[in-house]
Every structure is written in C-alpha cells, then in structure tokens.
Amino acid sequence: MAILRLAADSRDELLALLAKPSTPEPARGRSAFRLGIVDPTEKKRALARKVITGGKPWRGRNDVWFSSAPLLAAPGTGMAFVFPGLEAEFAPQITDVAEWLGVPPPVLADSSIGTHAASVVSVGRLLAEALGRLAVWPDALAGHSVGEWAAMIAGGIFSGAEFDEMLARTDLDAIRVPGVQFAVLGCGVEQVRGELAGRAGVVVSHDNSTNQTVACGPDAAVADLIDTLRDQGIICQILPFRSGFHTPMLKPYLAPFEAGVPSLRITRATIPVWSATTAAPFPDDHNAIRELSVRHLLEPVQFRTLIRAMHAAGTTVFVQVGAGQLGSLIDDTLADVEHLTVAANSAHRGGLDQLRRLLTALWVEGADPDFAALEPRTEPVPIPGSAEPLARLRALGSRLPVAREFAALLDDMAGSVATVLAAADRTESDTSLSVSSTTMPYLLDHCFVPQRAGWPEVADRRPVMPATTILAHLMALAQAHAPGQRAIGVEDLRFDRWLIAEPAVQLAVRVRRVGADRVRVALGDYAEGVVLLGPDYPVDVSPAWQPEADERPPALSAEDLYRQRWMFHGPRFQAVTASTAISDSGIRGELTVPTAPGALLDGVGQLLGQWLVERHPTRWIAFPTRMRQVRQHAALPPAGTRVACSVRVRTLTEDTVEADARLTCGGRPLVSITGWCDRRFDSGPRAAAVHRFPEHNTLSEQRPGGWWVMLESSPSLATREFYLRKYLGGAEHREYETCPPPERREWLLRRIVIKDAVRGWLWEHGSGPLFPAEIAVDDSHRTTVSGRHGLRLPELNVAVAVARRVAVAVVGDTTLIGTALHTEMAALDQGRVKEFRQ
C-alpha cells in the first residue's frame, strides 16, 4: 500500500510538491508543513489541496493527515500509548501483525469476562511490541479499565511473563463477578449523578468523556434509569457483558482478584504509567502501587479527568493501542484543544495497513517512525505438512464420531512431537552469572561512593555494574545461546534495579527465543532486554548527523569531568577523552575505547551527563533506566581506539532525559542508539557537593544555635535511596532494610543528621576530610557514635530528635536538643525556613 509523505517549509512549497506526479521520500528533517496520504488517489489529493489551502490541521479523515505545526515538535510535548479495555465490539485484526513479528497470534475469545479481558490485554501487548519494532515509543502510558494492566506491563511495573504465568494458574471462565449490568449513557457525568441522586443500587462506574458516562447496577434499576434518560433524548446502550468492575459491588468477589495482578512482583515504572483511578501517574513505591491496583477494581474509571490531566502535562498525541472506540472518547474530551488520536488497530482493515496509517499520522506530527520495517524482508517459509487436512478432519468430526476421535488422537500426537521438537530447538535455557568485584575486578572502577584511601570494606564503596556492562553481558549470553549467529543489537532494554556487585550475587539468567532472530534475556530481576541476532552486522543507511547550528565549546574538559568528580568513573571506565562541542540539544566528543566490558558505551552516558551538568545544573545527576534500541554496525574496536560520539537529546522532563547517540570509528558507523533514557535526580548545590565530595560536605545544615538540621522536602523514593547509598556503609544498609518500611524514612533522617553533626564537630576541632561511612552509629537506646577502620573519636555526647520531616542533632551540650527541635518546627510551620532543596 502506497504512502505519500511530503514535507516543506511553507504552505506554497507543500502545494507545489503535491502537484508533482512523483516525489522522493522526504529527508529526515524539521520542516513544519507536513502532509501524509495513505493510498493516495486523485480524490484524496484533491481533499489534501483544500486542506492545505485552508491551513487548519487535518487528522485522519479519509486517510489524509496535515499539520503546519507538528504537535510533537513543540517543546515539552509527548506521545502516550492508551490501551483499551472491554468494549461491545471486539474484533481486532492482528493475525498479520503477529506473523510480521514472528510470534504466534494470541488466542482471542470473549466467551467469558475472564477470557475477554485476557484477550484484550494480549492484543495490547502484541501491538505495543509491534510499535517498538517500528521505533514508535511512548512518553507516557495509560489504559481504560483492564487496559491499565497492559499499560502497567508496557511501563515495566510488572512483567508480562509473570502476568502470563498468573493467568495460566487461573481458570478464567470460572471467575465469578456480580451479575450487574453496565449502561453506556450519552451524557456527562454531572447529568448522570444528578439523575442517580435518590436512586438506590446504581452507581457511576466510568466517567468516560465529556459526553459519555457508564453506570452500573442491577437490571431493574438500570432499566429504570435508562427509561428516564431516553425520555430526555439521551442515547443509552446496555453493554453485552456483565460485571461490577470499578464499583463497590465487586467487593464481595475481590479475593480471587487480589490473588491476581496485585500479587505479582511489582517494581517502579520505567515509563510513566498513569492511573485512571487517580488521574495521576502511579506512585514509585511498590506497596502504594499494589494498593492502587486494588482500588482500580473498586473505584470508578476517571478516564475523562485522566485524559485532561495527561494533556495538561504535555501529552498531545494519543495512540490507541488496540481496536475499538477509545480514541473517540479522547477526541470528545479534548474537543476544544489541539491533539491527535490515532488507532494502532482497527476492526475494519488489516493490522499492517492500520499500522501504516498510524506511522503516517505520527510522522505528520513530527515523529520519526521506521516505515521501512513494515516492508517485507524475506519470503515466508512454507510449513511442511500443512495443517489443512487436520482442519478438514475436525470439521468432519462434528458429524462423525469416529473422525472426531481420530482428530483428537492426531492432535495429541502433534502436541507431543511439538514438545520434543521445541526442546531440541533450544528455545529456552536457564543459566546463572556470578557478579562480584572479585570475578569482575573492573567494577572497582565503577563505584558509586568514594571512601578513604585504603578503606578495607569494598561493599562500602558500592561497586555497581553499569547499564552498558549489563548490555554487553546480555549480548554475550544471547550469542552463546545461538551458535553461528552474532548479537547485533538490543531492543527494549530495561534496568529495574541497581546491580551492586559487593557482596557477590549469583544471578539467574533466563534466555527465551521470541522470534527467528531475537532472544529475550533476563538477568535476575535486575535487567532484561531483547537481543537481536544475525549473520552479520547491519549496515547503517541513515544519513550522517550534521553538527547543530548553536554548537560552542563546552565549559568542562574531558579531564575536568573525572578530576572534579562530575563523573565517578575510575581509569577502566573513563571513556571520554575530548569534549568537542555542546549545544542546546546535544553534545559531541571523542571516546577512547577503555578496557572494561561495556565501558565504551558508558562513555555515551558520561557525555550525556556532561550535557546535563552544563545545560541543566540543578538536576544533572542521572542514571540509565531504559534503552529502546541499540544497533551495532561493526565489531567493537580494541582498547585504545578513538571513536567519535554524538549525543542528541530527544526529550527532557523533570525526572527523565531521553537521547539518541551515534558512534563512528574512522568515519564509519559503529553503534547507533535510539531512546537512551536516564532517570534524573535532585542535584542542587548541597546534594551535588555531597555526591561529588562526600568527605567535605553534608546534606544537613548547621544552625547558629549550635545544632544541625536535616529537612526532607518529600523527595521521591528514588532520591531517598540515592542518599542512602551515599551515607550508609554496607552493614548500616542491612540495618536500614530490617526496619519496617513506614519507619525507614525517619531512621534515615536520624542517621544522616547524626553523621553530619559528628563530622561537623570534628571538622571544627581540626579534623581533615571525613566520609560518612567512617562514623558508626548505635541509635538503638542512647545514641552513641564511634569511628571505623582507624578513625578515633573522643567520647561525644550526641542527642537527636525527629518530628515529621525535620531531624535535629546536637553534639556536646545535649540539653539543647529540645530547643533545637522546637525552633526548627516553629520555623517550618511559619514558613521561615526555606524548603530545603536538595
């Protein structure tokens, strides 16, 4: 199916291009006037001419898209994937999509509420995978009703594989739900609420859009409500499935559901996932996520409010990841503001054809999807021994009992044969990997916390395996699994937890073949990704990057990066040997291949780090959470080789930065990275000073009255864990973890302020640099402190007190402590203390 794409810098230029009989593919560029037509006929071209002349954006009617100010080009805007839930019509077209992906098509059924829900989720997941393959990546995720589970999987809150295992344990057809009805009402929630006042039994279950609300209740009560509303001219429909989801009526049936999704292993989202229960992003804390996943079952779906909130936060493009009408609800809610909704699937046309429409729509709004990936690469391989005769036999079986038995026997045999063949094909394997600073001594050059020279406890230095070293291991593990093939890239790589190498950890390695040329590799519950395999490295055909127009020399030299401890890397990971040029949207430099595995690509992160240091100094500390696509175009050169590296920032938010990178060696493409995502941390002056030189700096502040104060300005859990690692030795960290979670915050505040007060006292009495780990604290009864590994402390009287977010500590005259706390609390309540910005 042909797609016409035209880009120009003015309306007239675009009209001129459209008038030409044939036009070349548009270059990757920033031209604002964009037109896309799928299957361009003379009629559609005529429509396009009118649309362009009219000048207003046109978003998809008659397969024409036009924009003169692409939505995604505006700063601070982004794209969301929105996963549909259960709808009256369920007819996704995904067979061709599954075939293209090289995976078996999901089995779809809507015979019961359980199978219907499972089918909806599996369609969403399949399409999300397809979108990733097309280089379409979301900045935010959300779902309608059960679609929220698909969003949670896509965002990394729980694993798709564990979700599947949970489903496999569940008899979906046997799930019991209340036998209540849903009525779709063609009016806003306020009108419905007005009508419900004084009626018993019926509640609002979904606030869908400006003009659509769903109510739920027993048949008679729903019928009565519908009669009244229809008299007022309001269109009402009864949905063809029953359940009391998103209402208190589900409560008596809740137990089996609590054993479902809320029972899964839950981690913080790597892409923001929005909850339709709260119309806000999911919290970071896994207990809070679990709690919300239960509320989701019992409380109304606030889809209208959610969409408004996402739009207010910058989402202007909504991709409906499934078939159906969810997009029309978004359009209804956002009727008064600029936005695009586009479906990744449709009941009315082939799956791949609809994906072509989607890519066209996104390209017109400024995205850069991979159109070529949809075009056929290889001839389909015919399957020997076609299944057709078996199908005929089954059909006969419906009339002839003998044929039925024979078909069952054949089915059985085919099953056994498939099991044996699958085992022989080594589609999966489980091994393990030992990670420690002994087996991987190079990790001692990648330590998160500096300590005194000669410090004996390696664990206190927190050697951590960098994301790019994990990547190198995943590729090596995949290649070992597929003899004769080469690991040529990685997709959808996630880093869920810090992989601390001391004490040593033994990691389970799971390798699963997920396609002819790809295997999914998981390293414990730390990281996972899909490794691409091939006979040889793919040629990079994309045009070379031109230097940005606003480039200038960076303020920091490569040497400064390490000497001034902007980067904590030791020699075996110091990849940057020259910082060449910096601009508002990127940075260029020279890397020299270091000796440690993965250290070359770590240099990409270091250059991105330098860009943040110089361009966004209040939140420059950042660590990778995800990489969408890494492609290697040649074998990595030996240590000492010089490699040119360009980093382009795609999006920057308060919490994340996402960049693309190109590495070339001698002018030839070496590695290209799309969607390198870092999580950003608070790094105001005080926090940054502690991060770089903890032996000279404190998180707490000293007060003239003679005490120290530590104020927590409700930072995220991620930020708290960050400081925890800076301040606590290995043994203290274990002590922290034995604390019940609600007490941890206070425990940590106490510990930080004690260490700072003691270090402060020692500095005043002539001490040199002191690292937080050098102070041991016994805070169990009376607070006492002592020195570790050679630090001698005099007998010190220490007092500490905590209330709400304030911790104070005194060394010496401990009678001050009451006054100290009182003064700080009063100051906080009166707003006299500036919020302590870390």
Partner 1 sequence: MTALDEIRTILTTVLGDYVLDDVEITRDMSLTEDLGLESIDLVTVGAMLTERYGSQVNLAAFLAEMDIDDVIAMKVGTLVDFVADRSAPSLATER
Pair 234, 218: CB distance under 8 Å: no
- By C-beta, is 239 or 393 nearer to partner 1? 239
- By C-beta, is 57 or 489 nearer to partner 1? 57
CB of 11 to partner 1, least distance (A): 16
Pair 481, 512: CB distance under 8 Å: no
Question: 231: which residues sit within 8 A by CB, 6+ positions away?
Answer: none
CB of 116 to partner 1, least distance (A): 15
Pair 322, 344: CB distance under 8 Å: yes
CB of 199 to partner 1, least distance (A): 19
Q: Report the 3 state secondary structure along 390-406.
A: HHHHHHHHCCCHHHHHH
CB of 324 to partner 1, least distance (A): 10
- By C-beta, is 44 or 744 nearer to partner 1? 44
- By C-beta, is 43 or 399 nearer to partner 1? 43
Q: Which helix (H) or strand (E) holds 351?
A: helix 351-364
- By C-beta, is 48 or 567 nearer to partner 1? 48
CB of 50 to partner 1, least distance (A): 5
3-state secondary structure of 566: coil
- By C-beta, is 63 or 496 nearer to partner 1? 63
Four-point Cα dihedral 475, 478, 479, 484, nearest 10: -140
Tell me how crowded residue 737 is: count the other CB atoms within 10 A of its CB. 10
Question: 215: which residues sit within 8 A by CB, 6+ positions away?
Answer: 182, 183, 185, 192, 196, 202, 203, 204, 205, 222, 225
Pairwise CA distance, residues 217 & 203, whole Å: 7
- By C-beta, is 49 or 616 nearer to partner 1? 49
- By C-beta, is 360 or 632 nearer to partner 1? 360
CB of 211 to partner 1, least distance (A): 5
| Tokens matching residue 763 | 């500095």
- By C-beta, is 229 or 250 nearer to partner 1? 229
CB of 60 to partner 1, least distance (A): 9
CB of 62 to partner 1, least distance (A): 6
CB of 366 to partner 1, least distance (A): 22
CB of 484 to partner 1, least distance (A): 50
- By C-beta, is 234 or 280 nearer to partner 1? 234
CB of 186 to partner 1, least distance (A): 4
Backbone angles phi, psi at 209, to 5 degrees: -160, 180
Place of tokens 């936005």: 339
CB of 44 to partner 1, least distance (A): 10
Pairwise CA distance, residues 383 & 521, whole Å: 28
Question: 584: which residues sit within 8 A by CB, 6+ positions away?
Answer: 548, 550, 615
Please choose, from the candidates 789, 752, 784, the residue with its C-alpha nearest in 3D space to the C-alpha of residue 774: 789
- By C-beta, is 113 or 154 nearer to partner 1? 113
CA angle 198, 200, 201 (to 5 degrees): 145
Written as one letter, the residue type at 458 is V
Pairwise CA distance, residues 128 & 755, whole Å: 48
Q: Which helix (H) or strand (E) holds 681?
A: strand 668-681
Pairwise CA distance, residues 548 & 739, whole Å: 51
Please choose, from the candidates 140, 141, 135, the residue with its C-alpha nearest in 3D space to the C-alpha of residue 362: 135
Cβ neighbourhood burial of 654 (10 Å; 0-12, 13-18, 19+): exposed
- By C-beta, is 184 or 310 nearer to partner 1? 184
Q: Which residues bind partner 1 (CB under 8 A)?
A: 43, 46-47, 50-51, 54, 58, 61-62, 88-89, 186-187, 209, 211-212, 226, 229-237, 240, 325, 328-329, 331-332, 348
Pair 528, 494: CB distance under 8 Å: yes
